[in-house]
Structure formats: structure tokens, C-alpha cells
Structure 1
Amino acid sequence: MQTTDISPQITRPARYLGGELGSLRKDPATVELTVALAFPDVYEVGMSHLGLAILYHLLNARDGIAAERVYAPWPDMATELRTTNRPLTTLESGRPLATCDIVGFTLQYELSYSNVLAMLDLAGIPRRRETRSAEMPLILVGGPCAFNPEPLADFIDAAVIGDAEEALVEVAQAVLAAKQAGESRERLLERLAAIEGVYVPSFFAVDYQADGRIAAIRPLREGYVKVRRRFLADLDGAPYPTRPIVPFMNTVHDRVAVEIARGCTRGCRFCQAGYIYRPVRERSPGRIVSIIEDSLAHSGYEEVSLLSLSTGDFTCIEPLLKELMTRHADDKVAISFPSLRVGSLTEGLMEEIKKVRKTGFTLAPEAGSERLRQSINKGITEADLLDTTRSAFALGWRIIKLYFMMGLPTETDADLDAIVDLAGQVKRTGKGTPGGADVNVAVSTFVPKAHTPFQWEAQLGIDETLRRQQRLRDGLRQKKLRLKWHDARLSFMEGVFARGDRRLGAVLEQAVDRGCGFDGWHEHFRFDAWEEAFAACAIEPTWYLRERMEDEILPWEHIDCGIPKSFFAAERRRSRGGDPTPDCRGGKCHGCGICDFETLRMRLIDDVHMPPRPPAREQFTPDQEGRYRLRLRLAKDGRARMISHLEFMNVVQRAVRRAGLPLRFSQGFHPAPRISFPDALPTGVASDAEIIDLELYRPVEAEEAVLALDAQLPEGLRILAGALVDWRTPAPATSIAASVYHVRLPSQPPADLDDRLAAFLAAEHVPALRDKGDGRRVEVDLRPGVVELKRRQGELILTLAKGSPTLLAGHLLGLEIDQARRLDIRKTDVRLVEGAAGAGSEEKFHCEPL
């Protein structure tokens, strides 16, 4: 998408810019197949998803294939696209989705399904498979929700079930071969059905009984009876991207993310991921260290997240963590674990984690009582939890988050009260912690998922969910603890679609037609519209929350996750008796049927061999006396003018890290880089005069530093000048007395513009309304911040000590603020207070003292 296509009213325009460092745009002349990797949620959520990043780089590594990204536009941008009749396009090349060969959606969450249909609508791609022509893209889905893709079955051509690294490449090759051979869509689908792990919904028919249950799932192709999940046998040998795309804006997970293991053997009976990602496959510590080293060098991130379903279970976690801290602690790079299992945490691990800064500390007991934890096979005791939290508080953590579920099978009010009691005990383990200790309690509602021992269980309805939430709220309030809960209506909808069938496709269409979208976002979720959609289709949604019979045909019966239904049924019976199933990592095999013990097997790696450490370089320490200031003048143009001030700061900070400049940091628990920025430039305004100061702990050659840093800046940002100045020189925000802006006049400026300028300068006060960005406007006085106004050769020249050039230009030209934001405005210079330029730097920076 071009920056000129983005309305000034659009929030967070950086979502739609593309061109981020690390993004790849191939020459169209070399591309035979285009794959749009689509994430049905907003950019900052999608950019945090590791799976899509892996597939992006894997496909782009292939000659002739271009993988490009597209995310669900926020409602204001979606409205803009509809109003202007423009299609949804990819970020890399602005290619309309309808002209791609494949559009592949990742399904991470059931409440994103409405966005899938909305994105098809915005792309001009017919929703239903049978109404699309052969020229339309192949619509593909994958991800955990693809293990029951039936609610979307009428809208998709195929689904990749399981690990996609190899399967998606094979799908792309099949589509390319069919395209080159001029084959029909039906023949292409036959090619795809021959690929292991690829499900083609049109090759199955579903019959229903009078009571609504499924009577049969009939295969329509001989030999195509079940679709077995695709497995990646060796994680360590799989390609992994080390040049991550670095967004302009902050994303949900703004860090280097490395998958250290895939799969889990704990066997928690509610956990779909624990079953559909078996067996455990670890990546070697040496490979992990190399990936992190390269990723940090190419990104400039200051945090690394070690990803797996249970990171603490990783075989070599302690030596790995110690090695990472040895290599990166001096560079102020923190290590975080998104998933910590009680019992796998040791004081040694926690000591390493806190060396740079204490990242989040979340523990998931799941249930409050020992009985219920035994039933779900959680495998931790109250004593385990209290020992862990006691250690965390003693090591300096002040807040611990506890995550529970309510509505688990056989749960009673006594189990709910046990959550309250356990949370209170955890808080008491922090008694005496300097600064105080606190506990945050988060409780979600249990949603039965396909391919788990609890896939047959009933789910709580809305009223009962609200009752239990209130009981927890009341109990925790008495102990002065806070509760964060999941909206009962959202859990209800998730449960309906998690175990839904093809009949829900009609409901989904009705809901999207009624304006539903971004259903996982409270501010956009419209339960009333969903109720209308169910009513219009004569479907009672609570029917999908009922308990299923074990001999009942389930909607996902023809999807083989690798574990037989009989194993899940046996685990369900064990749960009712409170019988544990031990972790097979170090004990007896569960007999779940996943492993063939040859190619497909558990792969645990205990080899702690590490790659050579890079040559040691001088590091900043707080007691160093050296203080040097490097002053830079930057240009901000093109797409970069559409990034906000905070985003601009992030881009520069990460570029400085990548350039390896000897930057000083603040002290304390959260060390921050010492970089001084000017006052915020309005979004959409270009600049040739952004003055930035870097505080260094040793001197550098200014020219070398400028070249190193300029090479790390994304398109639209460039360094115009650089010079070392006295470290006591005032920071830009305090040393800039005024900024000069050039505003290109519209083709027909007001006839009395000269009179307006004179009247403005003669006035003592000039009131105007300023938009606060939240729908409110406040009155401000424009006159005090204006130093000088000129009109020259089709331009206004504004010299401002403070204030918005956009607001001032709009006022002078008689424009509404929306129109003013479309003006071509450029900051061309700054004027500094006397002595603020730094000795000898005035000429380099074209800055004249005011």
C-alpha cells in the first residue's frame, strides 16, 4: 500500500506501510507464484506470530516464489477501503489479494473466523468456494484451529493439518505445476489431496440425523478417507529465520522469538496443543545460541523469548540460559520465558533470568484443588507452587501472575474456593518482600477442544460462567487480590466454533453481513449481532456446548492428529478417577500412538556444545567516566513520515544497537539507552532536521558512526550530518528554540491569504480547536508559539517555537483538520538557543542560533 493511500484519519498508519527492515520484496519479473500469508487479526498481533515468520522466509528462499504478508485492517481502514473502492493488498508490493495464486490464512483462534470472511470481502474474492472462478486464488488455512476446520469448510479450498514447513512448500509446488500445465481447479485439488497433511473439504460430504448429530462423514474420493496430520521429524535441522522483520511500531511480542522445542509430554487433559504438537522435538542449544546471535545482530531487539509449550522442561535449559546471559547480559539483552511450569523452575534459572531485568513471571496451576489438578493431569502440588513463588519473591520479583481455568470437568464450588485460598497462600509467601509483594489472578473459562481427552465434555453456559466468576471475585476481594477474567460471551462463542460443524458456515456469513469482525476485541464484539445470525439460521448455539457421547461421530472425525480416539477415551476415564498419566519424557511410554520410534520419535538433545563466542568487545559499565555526545541530523521522508514519534524512537534505538555503537545506558532495574530526541513531529510531516543525540561511553569517529548507523536505518530515514559535541550540550528538546516548516499551498489558496497572515501576526491571541485523538477537541491559542510567517513561491514558511504546523497551516488556509493533514508539510531547519549547537557543529547542521 502506498503512503498516499492512507487517510490522515487512519489510526496507527504504520500497520499498513510495509518496507520494514528485514521484509523481502522480489522482482516481479522473477516471480512465478505469489503466496499471500494472511493473518486474520491486526498487524501488531500478526507480526508477533512466529509460525508465519518462519513460512515467510522459507517460501521466499525458493526461486520463483514470492511470499508477501497481509493482515486484517482495523475497522477504520476497512471502512476507508470500502468507501474508496480499493481492494485489500499485500504489504510488500501492494498486490491485490485477488491476483495472488494462494491466500493462506493461519487460524490461531476461533474468534478470528469472521475476519477471514471480511478479508475475502475486502479483497473482492467470493466467500464460498463454489462461487469462485478458476482464476481466483487458492484459499488455504493452517494452524491449530485447522484441526477442526469444519465451520470454514465451505469457504476454503484446502487446509494444512499439522506442521507446515514442508507441507506448504509442497502445496506451492503443486499449485505452480498445475498453473504451468493449465489444469482445472478440480485437478489441482486432486494434486493437493495427494500431499500428506492436506485436507480438501470438497472431497467429503456430511450427513446429519434428525436430532442434529452427524450421521456420517462420507469420503467422495476412493482412498481419501482420513487426513493424517503432517509431522516435521527433525526440528533442529529445519530452516529458521535469523533476519526477522523489524516493525516500525511496537507489537504484542516485541522481541527475538526462538522456538527451542516443539511438543509437550506432560499430558494435561484439557490442552489441545499438548496433543496436536507431539512428539517433543528439541532444537540443539548450540543451534539456538547461533540463531539468537544472528537475530539480535539483524534486529536490534533488547529481549529474547525462548518459546515452547513448557520451556522449563527443555533438557539443557540451565546451561543454555547461562550461556545466553554470558554472551548478552552486558548488552542489556533480557531473556524471557512465556511458559513456565511449576516444578521445572529452579533458583538457578531465576537468578539467570533477573541478571538484566526481571521479565514477567506467570505460573499456571490451572486448578485450585489437588483433586482437580490430579483429574486434569496437571502434575503439580500446592507445595511445588508455594516453594516456587517463595523463591521468586525472595529473588526480587514483586508481582506474580497466577493463571487458572474454571468450568473444568467435575469442578465444584469447593474447587473455586480453593483458587481463592491458593492465591492467598501465594501472596503470603511474599510477606516481607522489600517494596511489597502482590499477586494477580487470571481465570479463563474452560473450552473443550478437538483431539483432547476432554473433547466430549460439556462447557459452561453464560449464566453459570457469570455466577462462578462472581464467586471468585467476591472471594479474592476479601483477600485484597485482583481478578482478571475472560468475557463469558467470548468463551461461549469460542466453544461453539471450537467443536462446530459445517452448518456454522451460514451463521458466520450472517454475522459478517451484520458487521461482525474482530470478535476477540471487546470494543468490537457484538453478541447481539451473533444472536441474530444464529436465529436467522435456526441454529441453537448452546447445542454445541453439550456433552458428546463417546460413540458419537464428531465433526473432525476424518482429521487424524496421530492419536487414536480410544486413547483419548481412556484418558477421559482416568481423569474421572483422578489417575495420573506420568510424563513419558523420562518414564514409561503412554502408548498414544504418535511415535514410530524411527523417523518420528521424541528427540531430546543433551549435547551442550556451543558455537565459538565472538571476540570480546569493550562494554559499558556504570562507573565508566567517559561521556561523549554524538549529535545527528536525520531526514524523515516517504513512508517513514507516517510513523509516529514513539515508533520513530524505537526504530532509531534498534538501529543504534545493530550498528554496535558504544551507547551509555541508565542504571537501575530497567536500563534504558541514553538517546535524546527532539519534540514530536506530527505524523505525516516530512523532515530534514530531526536532531538526535547519542550519549556514548567512548569516543568514535563521527563519519564512521554515521555510515554504520545510516546502513541500519529503513527506507525513508537517513542521516544528513553527524558531529561529536560537548557532552554537556543541552539535549535537542531543550536546545531547539524554533523549527522551520515549509507548507506547499493548495492549487487554489484563499484569495485573502496575505491579509490572514498579517492579521494573525498582529493578533495577541488566536483561538483554535485541537483534536485530542479520542474524539474530543479542546481550544488552544496558536499565537504564542509562532515566531515568523512568510509566503513565498507557492509555499507558506512557518517558524514555530512550539505547536503543530498542521493545525496552524489548516487555520491559516481555512481547512478542516482532516484536510490540513493532507497538506505537503516539511520541516526544513531548526534554530537553536545560544551555544546549544555544540562547538563547531553549526555549519554541519545548518542551524543558526536564534
Structure 2
Amino acid sequence: MFDRVSRPSRYLGGELGTVSKDLASVEVSFVLAFPDVYEVGMSHIGLPMLYHAVNSLDWAVAERVYAPWPDMAAELRKNGLPLTSLESQRSLAEFDLLGFTLQHELSYTNLLAMLELAGVPLRRDQRDEQAPLVVVGGPCATNPEPLADFVDCAVIGDGEEAVADLCRAVREAKRAGSSRAQLLQALADIDGVYVPSLFDVSYHDDGRIAELRPLRTDYTKVRRRVLADLAAVDYPVTPIVPFMNTVHNRVAVEIARGCTRGCRFCQAGYIGRPLRERSLEEIVDVIDRSLRHSGYDEVSLLSLSTGDYSCIGPLLKGLMDRYREERIAVSLPSLRVGSLTSDLMEEIKKVRKTGFTLAPEAGSERLRQLINKGISEEDLLIAADNAFSLGWRIIKLYFMIGLPTEQEADLDAIVDLAARVKRIGKGTPGGADVNVSVSTLVPKPQTPFQWQRQIGIDETLAKQDTLRQKLRSKKLRLKWHEAQLSFVEGVFARGDRRLAPVLERALALGCRFDSWREHFRFDLWQQAFADCGIDPEWYLRERATDEILPWDHIDCGVTRQYLLDEWQQALSGNATIDCRDGGCTGCGVCDFETVRMRYATDPGQKTALETLPSAVMASDSSEDEQPCKVRLWVSKLGRGRFVGHLEFMTVVHRAVRRAGLPIRYSGGFHPAPQISFPDALPTGVESEAEIIDFKLRHPVGVQDLMAALNAQLPAGFAVEKAESVPWKTPAPSLCIEETIYSIPLGDQAPADLAERIARFMAAEEVYATRLKKGREQLVEVRAGVVDLQWCDGILRLKMSKGSPTLLAGHLLDLAPEKTAVLGLRKTDVRLCAPLSDEPVIG
């Protein structure tokens, strides 16, 4: 099946860093599900923490699953196969717990699609005693009501300790022989766990909620779970290293959780309180160990506002100094304008990319005050000036439209501010440019704007058109978030249980991957709403401050009164101080004993940075360098054959880093490891002879090199042979004269195969048909064939060039999807005569 889908490495499993346990020896099994494609889910920082937390329990196992791309989902349905986990290829329906991370509302149809593919009934009241418990967590769990009829429980808040408690409850229930209903009652006793079936909802005739009625007198609200001290749980330091390039290919380290800024539109800033920083010592230890275990060449320091980390200056400088020789970049994706000091920007520029992002959110000072952004126009212009002067060429500006009390003058302010930023860069060597991006405000639960009206599609389009025209007159480009996507997101962000039929209907109509522009079908969503008799615009309306909101029984720590006060402060245009340095604002989260703000300690940070364990790889700046070249024969078998060529190159590069080999690097601004690969092998074809050349700074024994690399290569890949070769030996792609392939046909070979081979070899030209980008092309295949042999049930192809799959398909009269399952294998290569060794230069 892997041969019939795009990017098969999404589904292979077996990546370095995965945990495999004997399922028969564990008491509780938990599959962690991310309702988006693999390369997006693998870039999420939270799932590895949960994976580590569960797998740290001797008696429990955590495995992973991601939303299959539409072609794979179609294959599963066509063949009647269930969706399975990556680690054990076990059906999701066979696990005890099935937990979904919800990062945004447009993933809800993917969640239902994954349940459907797994054979798990969508509705919780339709599941029997053997069905897995369906759990959700993440930001959207702060209003789980649109999914309340589909999920058994939700984890509200931090999950590292909560998932372990869930596993313990399931273990105890299994040992006691408890029913599903009894288990749900036990889950409700866990801090931060919400069980929707233990609440009833009734409505007024006008659609508003009349009552959120708890069915247990001691279970009237669910308080958010807070990990009071981040150091209380182990941070994972053996990252799962994917075969393919994901959205973020790097070691990601959360340096702090929570934010004190109080931007009134920001849900993460409210539901993540209080601020908790990791110690400097823990961060540098996690980075060093993660680099050694992964082979990545980039580290990303993550938090809601990385620049606000109390030791960010010493940390960044120390890491830059430490890893510069190892060519490891350090990035800070989330920097707030007010935290951009000149020293910080000096460090950032050392690993700068082409763009630099600033997020003023609003164009006018009035609206920035209203949303409590806390930055002035002067701050922004100074940051832009510094960025341009330090060498950045493009600045990206992010704004929101649809903010409370927004007027046309506020849109004009976006245009004026963007134009001023562009003028600052005028005359900068190399040129400078500004890109403007706008998104529509989606008021989120648990924020002061949860009562705010969301603008509709027509109003959004009109504002976007106004900005587009005015920015064009200033020679500025506008990018925008589609109005229809924001519309659907807004409906479910503040929706209630009555939206469950809409989700089911949208799923039945074919809605999947709704956050992907090419897959989003607004016409199908409109049909789903209409078929269910739901007016979606009703959910975008302004809410009365005395109205019962669908999530009022979910307590995220910040009191309703505080949010209401902040809403009134916003309408009055008043700012609220940052509690980091302005005193407590009384939001209600902290108890000032266990739950409180925690800062990284400053003393001793230089020592911590300077005494890190040995680097991932040694510096190549030594004057006693003795360059040499080594040639490897690497096999690519089993599931490894579905790893594409570029992905195979990535596997090798990361294994080299982990093995600590003294690889040479090219010169220039972006040095690259001097590793040469052969021409691409068709995906799905096995190989016993992938020839790879390494240039090393000094000699390494070939047996030692083989052992070091084989210890770091994932299953399916192995170094079979290694030898030293002359320095000027041509790269593998240039010195391979012939390649030999074999196909074990057995008794499945055509009866006239020998005659076909004879005709083929006698012909001067032979043309085969292939599909490229949906179009048929004729390709001449005879010229690249040196010999064909049919003996003992095996077809052997000896080729100087060309595609073995295309040739095999032509000879056997098979379609491409049939050719891919023949068991084609590259067995050997014939190389050109070796060069005599010469003195090494450079």
C-alpha cells in the first residue's frame, strides 16, 4: 500500500527515538493522535512530552498516529483496513486510550475522520465497553463543547502529569473490573479532567444557554490542571527523528511556559498562566543531550515570548558561542518587539534567514492600547531600523482586522505604519522590502474578548480589499487569511453541543484538512449548516456579559470577573500593567505558594554554558587537518525502501552528526557537509549498493566508521562495506557505469518473457509510456539497457541509465502501481576504474 501513496515515510514508523514495548507486557496502552498530517504533527512540541510521560511508566505504553493524507485514507477504505499506530501497526480501536491534541478548531473533522477510519463509533454513547476512551487536550479543550458528544473526557491545562493519572485510573479500573460508566466517574475525580456526560445543557427559546447542570453535586466546575514547576517532570532528550523533512527540523526546547503581557486577544496568554521559566542549567543540558541523540543542526528556543525569558541574553550568547564551531544554528521564533534589545538582535543576525517578523497586531496606537499590546510605534520603528541596519532584507508585519471599535482610520494606520517601515529600509545595501499580513480576529474563550462580536465574511472581504488597494498604492504586498476559514473557526471556537450534527454532516460530505487551503470546501460547510438547521452567524454575535457561555463550567484559573474587567478596560482604552514587573493584577491564577511565577536563576549561568559536555562534533578548524575520502556501500531494505532519496540523504546526514564523524564542510556563507550521493533510486526499490562518499578532516579506520554509523542508522539502513578511495575519485553519480537490478518473478512471469526480452534487445529503440504530472509521456528505454537475463525465476536488469521501474513495467506489461510491488532490488553496481592516489590539496 505504501507504494500507492505520496510521501510513504509518513506512515513507516521505526524512526530513531521511538519507543517499542511488548504490548502483551503492559497494562495500559495509549495512542497519542494528532489530527493533522505527519509533518505538521511531528513539529508540535507538546506531543513528545506526553509520549515521554506515558512511556516512562513501566506498565504503560504510548504510541503515535497522525491524520492520513487523503490518498492513504482512500487506500485504507478501499482495502477495508483500520487506521493503525506507527509503532506497532496496531488498530487504534485496540488501545485503552485514544488521545487527540487539539491545536485549532479546523482540525475537528480530521478527529472524526480518524475515529471513523479506526472503526471507533463517533458518538460516545454508541461505544461499548471494549472501545477506547477518547480523550482530547490542548488549547481547544478550554471549550470542548462542540466535541462533547464525541469525546469521553478532556484534559484541561497542562498534560504531563494528567496523562499519567489517566493511565493509573484505567489500570485500576481494569484490575477492579469496573464498567465504562464507573471509570468515567473515577476520571472526574482527577484534577483537570472534564467528563462531558456528567453535565446536562438546556437552552432558552432564543438559543442562549439556560443552564449548565452538573449531574454530581461535587463536580460543578473543572479547574485547569497546572504544572506548577516545569522541572518537576523530565524533559524528553531523545527526540523522535523523522525520515522526512517536517515543518520544523530542529531540536525544540520550551524555555518557559505562560506569559505575563496580557494581550487581550491572546488565548494562550490567559490559559497558560502563570509564567514558569526553566532554569538555565536544565535548558543547556536538554539542548546538549538532544543534539547528541538527534543529529539536528538547529536549536529553537520556544515560549510565548522568548525574548522575555529572564536570562535570554546570556543564554543566547552562550549557545551561539558554544555551537558556532559545530555549525548549529540557534533560533528564537517568538520575539516581541519590546524585548528586542540591540545586543539580542546582534546575536540573532548571526543565524538570520531572509525575513524578520514583527507583530504590532494593530496599526494605530489607540487599538494597540485597547488590545493591551504594550508596544508603541516608536518601539516598532526602532526594531525595524535595527533589523535593516543589521542586514535583514525583508520585514514581515502581522496585523489583525475586526478588533473591537475598529474604524477605517485604523485600517489607514496599518497602511501608514507599513509604509514608514519600508521608508526606513530605503537605501539599505542590498535593498529592503516589507510584506504585510492580516488575519481576522477570532474571539476566543477564556479571554477578555470572549464577549466580542466576530466580523462576518462580507465585512472581512471589504476590509481586506480596502487594505489591498491602499497598500498597492504604496507598493506594498498584502497576504491575508481567508475569510471563510476564519468564519468556520469562529463558529466552533465559541460553539456549543448543538454543533455536533454539523460536524457529522460535514464529515459525511467530505470535509477534511479544513486548515489546508487546497482542501477547505466552504460550500460543503454551508450545506452542512443548512442540512442541520443551524445559522452559523448566530455563533459570531456579541455575547451579553450576563449570558451563560458554553464553557462557563471550565475554570482556566483566570476569574470571569477579571476577564470582564479587562473587557471593560479594553472598551475604555485603558492598558493593564505587566505583572512581571508591575505587581499582581489579581487575575486569580496564583495561590502564591505552589502555583506562582517562577523565574530562571541568573547566578552561575556562564559556568553552566562553558562546562557543557563534549560537543556533538569536533571543530574542523585545526591546522593539522589530513583530508581523506571514504566510500561506503549502504543497503536500503525493508521499509527503508519507501524513504525517498532526499529523505535518505537527511537520514545519513543526521547519522553522521550523531556518530561524531570528522566530516569536512564546504566553504561559504552556508557550509554543507561534503557527502556525495548516487543518483536517486526510485521510491519503493530496495538496494544493496547505495554508494556514498565522505570527505573527512582526518583518517578514521573503516571498521570503526562502519560501526559508528551502523549504531546510528535506523532499521532498514546499514553500511555493508567501506573503503578508503583516492581524494580525486569522481562522485558516485559520475563513476557508476552500470547498475544491476533483480526482480523475483517466480511463476508469475509471463509465459513469453524470454521472447519479449529477445525482441527488446534486438530493437534499436523502444518507447515506454509514463505519467508525469497527470500527463502521458513517451520515454526511450532501450538505450540505457546493457543486458537482460531471465533465469531461475529471477529477471536481472543491467542498466547504464534510466528507470528500472519503467523498464520492468514495459517488459511485463504492468501498470506503475503493479510494478512497484514486484520486489525490485538494486543488487550491485559496476564502477569505473579507480584513479591512482594523488597528493591532497586543500
TM-score grouping bracket, smaller chain normalisation: over 0.9
| 1:61 equivalenced with 2:60 (yes/no) | no
1:7 shift after superposition: 4.0
1:462 shift after superposition: 0.7
**Deviations for 1:491-539, whole angstroms, at most 9, x for unmatched residues?**
0000000000000001000110111111111111111111111111100
Give the secondary structure class of the aligned counterpart of 2:324. Answer: helix
Give the secondary structure class of the aligned counterpart of 1:535. Answer: helix
1:838 shift after superposition: 7.5
Partner of 1:432: 427
Partner of 2:678: 678
1:624–1:697 contact (8 Å) kept in structure 2: no
Give the secondary structure class of the aligned counterpart of 1:689. Answer: strand
Partner of 2:810: 811
Partner of 2:311: 316
Partner of 2:650: 650
Partner of 2:29: 34
CA distance in 2 between partners of 1:116 and 1:43 (Å)? 14
Partner of 1:231: 226
Partner of 2:796: 797
Q: Which residues of 2 match residues 398-477 of structure 1 at below 5 A? A: 398-477=393-472
Partner of 1:621: 621
1:353–1:359 contact (8 Å) kept in structure 2: no
AA partner of residue 634 (structure 1): V
Partner of 2:204: 209
> For structure 1, which runs of at least 5 residues remain unmatched after alignment?
1-5, 840-850
AA partner of residue 822 (structure 2): L
CA distance in 2 between partners of 1:727 and 1:347 (Å)? 46
Partner of 2:123: 128
Partner of 1:663: 663
Please give the TM-score of this superposition, normalised by the length of structure 2.
0.97
Q: Which residues of 2 match residues 231-310 of structure 1 at below 5 A? A: 231-310=226-305
Partner of 2:702: 702
CA distance in 1 between partners of 2:483 and 2:101 (Å)? 25
Give the secondary structure class of the aligned counterpart of 1:195. Answer: coil
**Deviations for 1:761-813, whole angstroms, at most 9, x for unmatched residues?**
222221112222x3233221111221221112111111112211111001001
CA distance in 2 between partners of 1:762 and 1:174 (Å)? 73
Partner of 1:593: 588
List structure 1 runs of 4+ shifted beyond 4 angstroms: 615-618, 622-626, 836-839
**Deviations for 1:670-724, whole angstroms, at most 9, x for unmatched residues?**
2222211100000110001101111222222222112111110000000011122
1:837 shift after superposition: 9.8
**Deviations for 1:360-404, whole angstroms, at most 9, x for unmatched residues?**
522211111111111100011111111112111211221222211
Instruction: Evaluate the alpha carbon distance shift between residue 669 and residue 608 of structure 1 in structure 2; reply closer, same or farther with a 3 A threshold.
Output: farther
CA distance in 1 between partners of 2:136 and 2:222 (Å)? 14
Partner of 2:785: 786
1:628 shift after superposition: 1.9
Instruction: Evaluate the alpha carbon distance shift between residue 627 and residue 481 of structure 1 in structure 2; reply closer, same or farther with a 3 A threshold.
Output: farther
Partner of 2:756: 756
AA partner of residue 379 (structure 1): G
Give the secondary structure class of the aligned counterpart of 2:450. Answer: coil
Partner of 1:847: none
CA distance in 1 between partners of 2:636 and 2:429 (Å)? 46
Partner of 1:845: none
AA partner of residue 138 (structure 1): L
| 1:22 equivalenced with 2:10 (yes/no) | no
Instruction: Evaluate the alpha carbon distance shift between residue 625 and residue 359 of structure 1 in structure 2; reply closer, same or farther with a 3 A threshold.
Output: farther
Instruction: Evaluate the alpha carbon distance shift between residue 738 and residue 432 of structure 1 in structure 2; reply closer, same or farther with a 3 A threshold.
Output: farther
AA partner of residue 324 (structure 1): L
CA distance in 1 between partners of 2:520 and 2:646 (Å)? 29
Q: Which one is further off, 6-15 or 614-623?
A: 614-623
1:833 shift after superposition: 2.2
Give the secondary structure class of the aligned counterpart of 1:783. Answer: coil
1:118 shift after superposition: 0.7
Q: Which residues of 2 match residues 441-590 of structure 1 at below 5 A? A: 441-590=436-585
**Deviations for 1:161-189, whole angstroms, at most 9, x for unmatched residues?**
00011111111100110011110111101
**Deviations for 1:336-374, whole angstroms, at most 9, x for unmatched residues?**
111110020122222222334547522211111111111
1:329–1:355 contact (8 Å) kept in structure 2: no
1:64 shift after superposition: 1.0
2:326–2:618 contact (8 Å) kept in structure 1: no
* Residue identity (%): 63
| 1:374 equivalenced with 2:369 (yes/no) | yes
Partner of 1:688: 688
CA distance in 2 between partners of 1:837 and 1:721 (Å)? 21
Instruction: Evaluate the alpha carbon distance shift between residue 302 and residue 789 of structure 1 in structure 2; reply closer, same or farther with a 3 A threshold.
Output: same
Root-mean-square deviation (CA), in Å? 1.5
CA distance in 2 between partners of 1:671 and 1:409 (Å)? 49
AA partner of residue 383 (structure 1): E
CA distance in 2 between partners of 1:286 and 1:586 (Å)? 24
Partner of 1:80: 75
| 1:166 equivalenced with 2:161 (yes/no) | yes
Instruction: Evaluate the alpha carbon distance shift between residue 45 and residue 703 of structure 1 in structure 2; reply closer, same or farther with a 3 A threshold.
Output: same
Q: Which residues of 2 match residues 168-183 of structure 1 at below 5 A? A: 168-183=163-178
Partner of 1:717: 717
AA partner of residue 497 (structure 1): F
1:407–1:445 contact (8 Å) kept in structure 2: yes
Instruction: Evaluate the alpha carbon distance shift between residue 821 and residue 701 of structure 1 in structure 2; reply closer, same or farther with a 3 A threshold.
Output: same
- Which residue of 187, 204, 207 corresponds with 2:182? 187
CA distance in 2 between partners of 1:203 and 1:304 (Å)? 44
Give the secondary structure class of the aligned counterpart of 1:78. Answer: helix
**Deviations for 1:573-627, whole angstroms, at most 9, x for unmatched residues?**
1111221111110112111011111111011123343432335774123988643
Give the secondary structure class of the aligned counterpart of 1:67. Answer: strand
> For structure 2, which runs of at least 5 residues remain unmatched after alignment?
none
2:728–2:835 contact (8 Å) kept in structure 1: no
Give the secondary structure class of the aligned counterpart of 2:448. Answer: coil
1:632–1:720 contact (8 Å) kept in structure 2: yes
Q: Which one is further off, 392-401 or 528-537?
A: 392-401
Instruction: Evaluate the alpha carbon distance shift between residue 618 and residue 107 of structure 1 in structure 2; reply closer, same or farther with a 3 A threshold.
Output: closer
Give the secondary structure class of the aligned counterpart of 1:288. Answer: helix
Give the secondary structure class of the aligned counterpart of 2:228. Answer: coil
1:236 shift after superposition: 2.6
**Deviations for 1:653-674, whole angstroms, at most 9, x for unmatched residues?**
0000111111122233322222
2:354–2:394 contact (8 Å) kept in structure 1: no
1:836 shift after superposition: 5.8
1:288 shift after superposition: 0.2
Q: Which one is further off, 469-478 or 193-202?
A: 469-478
1:239 shift after superposition: 1.2
1:68–1:92 contact (8 Å) kept in structure 2: yes
Instruction: Give the count of matched residue pairs.
Output: 833
AA partner of residue 528 (structure 2): A
AA partner of residue 223 (structure 2): R
1:244–1:299 contact (8 Å) kept in structure 2: yes
CA distance in 1 between partners of 2:603 and 2:518 (Å)? 48
